[in-house]
């Protein structure tokens, strides 16, 4: 089952279709054609053989000889099956769309990056296959200008550096940038980042939201700032940290399910609202990202 981090990274690439190409150009100098329309394509790369092969994401830039396509694979751990299917992904996509294609593997770990970059002996004499491998932690820190232009890139860097305090400021700037065009997506990004950040970075993020000298500019920021102040005064210390965490997880589960377009029955809503077990809520939140129904998410 894909982890929440895995699905969060895929979501950033899905929500910003140009992100894969931007990273290929920026980090590896790979030429990707500039086109007006960049689309997310069907990730099913199954051929006539009975086995199903499904990549994490396929991004298509244009069509024909001047176009290009990228197969995105988020790899957080070693999977000895992947070196056998990555060459198939590249060949199948190239044959299906009739455009040059490459496989981009995104990972957080040095050891996984070295493993993924090892050339694969295909059996065809003189032919070896190696995907393009991006270790997110190696990306340069994102500037203020880049945050405004590409907030998903900034959030990708944040996910790779969850224990650095400066990640909090970068995350908040990116969430603010997203909120100016899509408040619902900004809330979802906030929940993902808050679940990933370490103790120090999370405390810094909370401080940014509550500090008297911090003045959010977007409507989202102003709403969150006011909401945090009001809730902080209302809750006080009586409910304690555990109750606060529970309420946050409950809200996150409900928001992810609603943003994914699911309609919850009254019984399902009450089940989530009434849950007071952090482990269960964490499990529901992880499932909610990839579930095909509310029933599937709640188990």
For the four alpha carbons of 228, 232, 234 and 238, in that order, the dihedral sign comes to: positive
Express each pLDDT in 64-76 by its tens digit: 777 899 999 999 9
pLDDT of residue 189: 86
Express each pLDDT in 66-117 by its tens digit: 789 999 999 999 999 999 999 999 999 899 889 899 999 999 999 999 999 9
For the record, the structure tokens of 159 come out as 């996910």
Residue 14 main-chain phi, psi, to 5 deg: -70, -45
Helices (H), the chain: 4-15, 19-28, 82-97, 110-117, 144-149, 151-160, 166-179, 183-196, 199-210, 219-235, 240-259, 266-274, 278-290, 294-298
CB 160 within 8 A of CB 137: yes
Express each pLDDT in 144-196 by its tens digit: 888 989 999 999 999 999 988 889 889 988 988 888 888 778 878 887 888 78
pLDDT of residue 231: 53
Between residues 141 and 228, which one has the greater pLDDT?
141
| Mean pLDDT of the region 3-17 | 87
Q: What is the value of pTM for the model shown? A: 0.69
CB atoms near residue 105 (< 10 Å): 23
């Amino acid at each position: 089952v894909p982890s929440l981090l895995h699905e969060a990274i895929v979501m950033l690439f899905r929500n910003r279709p140009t992100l894969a190409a931007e990273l290929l150009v920026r980090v590896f100098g790979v030429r990707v054609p500039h086109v007006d329309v960049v689309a997310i394509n069907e990730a099913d790369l199954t051929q006539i053989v009975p086995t199903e092969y499904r990549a994490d994401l396929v991004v298509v830039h244009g069509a024909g000889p001047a176009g290009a396509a990228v197969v995105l694979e988020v790899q957080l751990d070693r999977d000895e099956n992947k070196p056998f299917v990555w060459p198939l992904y590249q060949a199948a996509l190239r044959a299906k769309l009739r455009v040059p294609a490459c496989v981009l593997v995104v990972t957080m770990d040095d050891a996984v990056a070295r493993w993924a970059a090892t050339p694969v002996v295909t059996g065809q004499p003189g032919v070896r296959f190696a995907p393009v491998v991006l270790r997110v932690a190696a990306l340069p820190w994102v500037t203020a200008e880049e945050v405004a232009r590409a907030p998903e890139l900034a959030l990708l860097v944040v996910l790779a550096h969850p224990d650095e305090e400066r990640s909090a400021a970068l995350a908040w700037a990116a969430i603010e940038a997203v909120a100016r065009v899509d408040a619902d997506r900004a809330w979802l990004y906030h929940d993902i980042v808050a679940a990933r950040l370490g103790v120090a970075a999370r405390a810094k993020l909370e401080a940014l939201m509550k500090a008297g000298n911090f003045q959010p500019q977007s409507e989202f920021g102003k709403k969150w700032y006011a909401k945090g102040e009001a809730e902080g005064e209302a809750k006080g210390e009586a409910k304690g940290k555990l109750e606060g965490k529970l309420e946050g997880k409950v809200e996150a589960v409900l928001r992810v399910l609603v943003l994914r377009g699911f309609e919850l029955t009254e019984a399902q809503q009450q089940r989530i609202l009434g849950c007071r077990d952090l482990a269960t809520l964490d499990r529901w939140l992880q499932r909610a990202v990839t579930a095909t129904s509310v029933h599937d998410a709640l188990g």
